[in-house]
Structure formats: C-alpha cells, structure tokens
Amino acid sequence: MILNLNVDDPEVVADLELFIDPDERATRALQAMRIGIMALRTARGEVDARALQARLDAALTALSTMLREHATLTLRGLTDELEGYFRPNSGMMPLHLDRFKADAAQLLNAMIEEGSRQFNSVVELNVGHNSALMKLISPEYSTAIIHTIEQRNQQLLNELVKNVQEHVIGQFSIDQPNTALNRLKTIVQTSQLEVVRAFDLNDPGSALARINRELGERLVKMATEQASFREEVRGILLRLEARQEERAQTTSHGLIYEDEVGSALSRLARAGGHVCEATGMTTGVIRNCKVGDFMLTLSDDCAGAGARVVVEAKSAGGYTLTKILEEAKVARDNRQAQLTIFVIDPQYADAAWPALARHGETVVLKWAPGDELHLSAAWSVALALAVRNAQANNGHKTINADELERAALEVQKRTQSLEEIMTWTETITKASEKILDRVRVARKALQTQTELILDEISNLKASAS
C-alpha cells in the first residue's frame, strides 16, 4: 500500500526532520504509525485471549468429533464394500475364483493331455511294441506298467490343482488369522485408530492436543506482551500529552504555528515566482509596531506586479471578527500593503466561521498545518483582488473587475464545499482503515492456523504410510 501523507503535527514534524535521508525518514514514520495503531487497537480491547481460547477449544472439539465420525463411517463403508466383494455366494471374488477354477482345470486337462501324448510317445519309443524292452518282456507286463504310470500322473496333477485352489481361496478367508484379507483388515483398523488418536484432545500426545497447547502458550505470551506494550505506549502517550499541554501554555506554540504558515506561504510564492518575506520580528512604518508577520510581493510577470499582500498568523484565543478586521487594517497600514490574509488556528476560531471568507480587503482563513488546499484558495482570492486593484488603478480595461470579483466569491464558495468533502472523506478513510486492519489480522490468523493443521495432517499421513 502506498500512502502520501501530509504531516502537520509539530511533534511528529520535529521528530521526522531529524532524519535527512528520505528512506530513514519513511522508516521512522512507519514505525511511529505501527506503534500508534497497535496502541489504539489495544486500547479498544480487540484481543480477548480467553474468548479466543474458548472459541478455539470449541472449534477443535467440533473438528475432533467430525473426524471421528468420518473415520467410523469410512471404516464401516470399507467393511461393507469388502464383505460385498468377498461374499461366498454373490461376491465378486468367489465368482472370479470359480471362473479361475474352471479355466485352470481346463488348462491342466490340456496340459495333462499334451503330457500324456508326449509321455506315450516316449513310452512307445522306449517300451513300445517295437522297442528293445518289449522284445524282452511279455505284452501283459508292458500294458500293466503303462497303466500304472498314467494313473500316477493323473493323481499328481489332481493334487496339484487342489492345493493351488485351496491356497488361493484361503488367502481371502476372514476366518484364518494370517490370510491376506485379515492382514488388510488389520492395517485399515490400525490406520483408523492412529487417525482418531491424532485428533483426540484427551490424548496429550495427539497432534490436535499439541496444537491446542502451542496455541494456548502463544495466546498467553501474546497477552503478556500486549499488556507490557500497552503500559509502555500509555506512558509514552502520557509524556507526549504532557509536553503538548506544556507547550500550548507557553508562547512557543504561537511561534511554531507562525513558522508553519511561513513555510506554506513560501512554497506557494516560489511556485508563482513571487517573493515571500518574514517581517514579524521587524517594525513597520508605524512606530514600534510589528503587526504583519509575512509580506508577499507579486512578481513582475503578474498582472498585478508589485502589489503587496500582508499575512498575519495567530494561534491564540480572544479574537472576534471585528478584532480580526481591525488588526488586518493595522497590518496593511504598517506594512504599506493593499491586501491582508489573516490566518487563524481553527482551535481558537469560532466554529460558526467559514473556512475561508472575504471581508473587503481582508481574507480570513481558518487553517491548520498541512491544509495546503485552503491556503492555496486564500492566496488565489488575494491574488485576484490584487490584480483587480492594479487594473483599476492603472485604468486598464483588458480585465473585467466584476469577473474577478465573481471569481473570488466562487473560489470562497467552492472552498467551503471542499471543506465538507474533506470531512466526509476523513470519516470514510478512518472507517476503511479499521475494516482493512481487522481483515488483515483475521486473515493472517486463519492462514497461520490452517498451515499448522495442514502440516500436522501431512505428518499423520506420512506416519500412517
């Protein structure tokens, strides 16, 4: 976020001016803003550690219950699925085994037939009618030997098929302890117990209990740190308030306000090529009179070249509009000026006065340091009046004095409208800043807790694997 701020508080300005480097000055300003925001947030009591702990416990308990119910439903669904898959009469596995038995029997019969043919060929070759052995023994013995061998081969093949079938079917029996199905069931039950145990708040070694303990410790630590920080900031604010009250009761406050007015006027004068002089410490044409703090002389390029506008700055009470106009006239006479801009601190001005008003040759401005808009408007009105007076004195008709008069009045009217708009804008800005701060805090907390839960779940999955 990029913010362009006009700093008008004298204390803040004095502190920031100690840093020449712009980066160091920006870092100092950000630190001061952070301390102030945290102090305001703490003063409002936005962090309630106990309420947060109670809500967290309730959320963790609800999460544990949901996970336990989900694990139970998952195990029940898996058990039903496995039972349906291995059901003796209608399950998929017995049907596949029956099909496998039929295919295996057919394959074994084919192998037996092929083996018998090959065996008969071998026997025929070695003990057949034309073999040398058959020439030595009788035909009756020859037939008996072959029949015995065939029966033995058939018996061995039948035993082999039976053993294979019993072994395959036995691996999917739930009644035997070491079958593949029972081992799978044991693994599923063990994993379920580990998951339930990991989210059991009553088990001090569970992941959820560890998260709960860590969050509790962090909340206690946060509450302690905030209490200490609150006391520290409160002490700083009390000292600053005491210093401001002390300064407000001395004459230095008025001098500081006068310097702020002079700095702002100098910037406006330099922008238009005009001359701004500080005259508050010197006497004017009236003997021993120093009324008139600043003198603005219009440049030669201006239509009112050489016109003089005196500025009087006041940050003190007891001023009525009549007194202001009287002192403004004294300032014009003392400094031999044609116009007066009387700048008064808003905290000492009547609340019913407009921010900018013109009374004849005097422009009255309620101004606080940093309010460049209203000061620029007052200067524009004075500049227009100076040009009008110069044109009237010189007899020129190129510039319409009535038009300048209307323009000055329009500037005054629009300035009052801008004052209302600024008030509304400040209200909206403060509300949006509070909302954004609250959203940032909530988002950061939720993101942190989500990452912790995801890490613990990943560890549980890794350990279960």
pLDDT (tens digit, 9 = 90+) per residue, 387-406? 888 777 765 444 455 555 55
Same domain, 166 and 262: no
Give domain status of residue 412, yes or no. Answer: yes
Give domain status of residue 183, yes or no. Answer: yes
Same domain, 259 and 176: no
Sheet hosting strand 275-278, strand order edge to edge: 275-278, 294-297, 308-314, 339-344, 362-366, 356-359
Supply the pLDDT for residue 291.
92
Same domain, 270 and 194: no
Give domain status of residue 158, yes or no. Answer: yes
* CA-angle at 212, arms to 206 and 216, nearest 5°: 145
Element (H, E) at 44: none
Give, in order, the Cα–Cα distances in Å from 424 to each of 68, 220, 418.
54, 40, 10
Give domain status of residue 242, yes or no. Answer: no
Per-residue pLDDT at 461 exceeds 90: no
Supply the pLDDT for residue 250.
52
Give domain status of residue 97, yes or no. Answer: yes
Would you put residue 111 in left (φ > 0), alpha (ψ -120 to 50) or beta? alpha
Least confident of 160-164, 339-343, 357-361: 160-164
Give domain status of residue 94, yes or no. Answer: yes
Supply the pLDDT for residue 322.
92
Domain count, the chain: 2
Count of residues in the chain: 465
Same domain, 312 and 423: yes
Average pLDDT, rounded, for the chain: 77
Beta bridge partners of residue 308, listed in sequence order:
297
Dihedral sign for Cα atoms in the order 93, 99, 100, 102: positive
Please state the rounded mean pLDDT for residues 194-221.
Answer: 77
Per-residue pLDDT at 92 exceeds 80: no
Give domain status of residue 295, yes or no. Answer: yes
Residues 340-349: tens digit of each pLDDT: 999 999 988 9
Supply the pLDDT for residue 398.
47
Q: Is the pTM of this model over 0.85?
A: no
Same domain, 142 and 285: no
Give CA–CA dist 399/344, Å, rounded. 32
The residue segments making up the domain with residue 295 are 252-430
Per-residue burial over 357-393, b if 16 or more Cβ lie within 10 Å, else e, is bbeebbbbbbbbbebebbbbbbbbbbbbbbbbbbbee
Tell me if 329 sits within 8 A of 342, measured CB to CB.
no
Same domain, 288 and 193: no
Supply the pLDDT for residue 344.
93
Give, in order, the Cα–Cα distances in Å from 464 to each of 74, 184, 187, 452, 459.
16, 14, 10, 18, 8
> Which pair of structure tokens corresponds to residue 235?
């002490």
User: Quick check: helix, strand or coil at residue 347?
Assistant: helix
Same domain, 99 and 175: yes
Place of tokens 């059991």: 200
Give, in order, the Cα–Cα distances in Å from 407 to each of 307, 358, 400, 410.
19, 12, 11, 5
Give CA–CA dist 424/256, Å, rounded. 29
Tell me if 421 sits within 8 A of 429, measured CB to CB.
no
Residues 420-431: tens digit of each pLDDT: 666 666 676 666
Listed in sequence order, the residues at least 6 apart from 341 whose beta carbon sits closer than 8 Å to its beta carbon are: 309, 310, 311, 312, 362, 363, 365, 378, 379, 382
Same domain, 178 and 313: no
Least confident of 189-198, 380-389, 405-414: 405-414
pLDDT band at 24 (very low <50, low <70, confident <90, very high): confident
Per-residue pLDDT at 124 exceeds 80: no
Give CA–CA dist 337/130, Å, rounded. 153
Please state the rounded mean pLDDT for residues 303-316.
Answer: 89
Beta bridge partners of residue 342, listed in sequence order:
312, 364
Element (H, E) at 56: helix 49-86
Give domain status of residue 213, yes or no. Answer: no
User: Quick check: helix, strand or coil at residue 314?
Assistant: strand
Same domain, 259 and 363: yes
Per-residue pLDDT at 63 exceeds 70: yes
Same domain, 329 and 259: yes
Same domain, 297 and 399: yes
User: Quick check: helix, strand or coil at residue 329?
Assistant: helix
Per-residue pLDDT at 244 exceeds 60: no
Give CA–CA dist 25/299, Å, rounded. 35
Per-residue pLDDT at 159 exceeds 60: yes
Per-residue pLDDT at 362 exceeds 90: yes
Least confident of 121-130, 139-148, 159-168, 357-366: 139-148
Give, in order, the Cα–Cα distances in Å from 240 to each of 218, 237, 254, 255, 407.
32, 5, 18, 19, 44
Beta bridge partners of residue 310, listed in sequence order:
295, 340
User: Quick check: helix, strand or coil at residue 355?
Assistant: coil
Say which DSSP state 357 is in.
Answer: E
pLDDT over 90, % of the chain: 13
Tell me if 315 sits within 8 A of 254, measured CB to CB.
yes
Same domain, 269 and 399: yes
Which residue, of 198, 226, 241, is where some domain finishes?
198
Pairing of strands 362-366, 356-359: antiparallel
